[in-house]
Amino acid sequence: MRFHGYFRSSSSYRCRIAFNLKGVETEFVSVHLTKDGGQQKSEAYKALNPQGLVPTLEVDGLVLTQSPAILEWLEETHPEPRLLPQDPAERAAVRAFCAVIACEIHPLQNLRTLQYLEQNYGQQLDGKEAWCQRWIGDGLATCEALLAKRPKTRFAFGDAPGMAEVYLVPQMFSANRFKVDLSAMPRLRDIYAECEKLPAFAKAHPSVQPDAS
């Protein structure tokens, strides 16, 4: 498997955590999102990923894009350890938690959206931070509220990390980067701290990736 990603991309970070939890080895290909005007915009990369976004996973000639699709594929083809519960209602609860992050936060705070805001609406750093705080804060507060309805466990949905943590940890990293106030989210902070103790998460951290700068 060849994995094309970028150290700071949340969606690449999600996949790295999942690969580590599953014990799946990949060959890493760096796609630097700001060097050379954005390596993801090269013709060679866009032949693999027409949208010019990371990540992309190549598996025996197969080209997979979009982290939610890659993660579901990984779960289906490498079922152990499970990242999703077996019961459909529980799977829906986990997937809703993940979708709050993937669909309601991440697209609003990713690099291309911030670049567009800056280029078209003249937003400076303060404006970008307020924008990110609005969407990350709202989404993570929702994640906290979803967990508040459930019994308290070590991780979000039980005693082992799973798909919820695959999405949550990169988003918490990004929340810290954009100085989001997490004081009203004790459950999420606890889960984040638990995850940081585990090698699968530590090895996936942006700061230890070969392309980190």
Interacting residues with a second copy (CB under 8 A): 50-51, 53, 62, 64-70, 72-73, 76-77, 88-89, 91-93, 95-96, 98-100, 102-104, 106-108, 113, 116, 120-121, 123, 130-131, 134, 138-139, 141-142, 145-146
Minimum Å gap between C-beta 199 and a second copy is 27
Which residues have CB under 8 Å from 70's CB, separation 6+?
A: 15, 55, 57, 64
Distance, CA of 192 to CA of 184 (rounded, Å): 14
Minimum Å gap between C-beta 15 and a second copy is 13
| Cβ-based nearer residue to a second copy, 95 or 205 | 95
Largest CA distance in the chain: 49
Minimum Å gap between C-beta 87 and a second copy is 10
| Cβ-based nearer residue to a second copy, 62 or 213 | 62
Minimum Å gap between C-beta 207 and a second copy is 25
| Cβ-based nearer residue to a second copy, 33 or 53 | 53
Minimum Å gap between C-beta 209 and a second copy is 22
CB atoms closer than 10 angstroms to residue 69: 11
CB atoms closer than 10 angstroms to residue 103: 13
Distance, CA of 99 to CA of 158 (rounded, Å): 18
| Cβ-based nearer residue to a second copy, 69 or 193 | 69
Distances (CA, A) of 147 to 10, 143, 158: 22, 6, 11
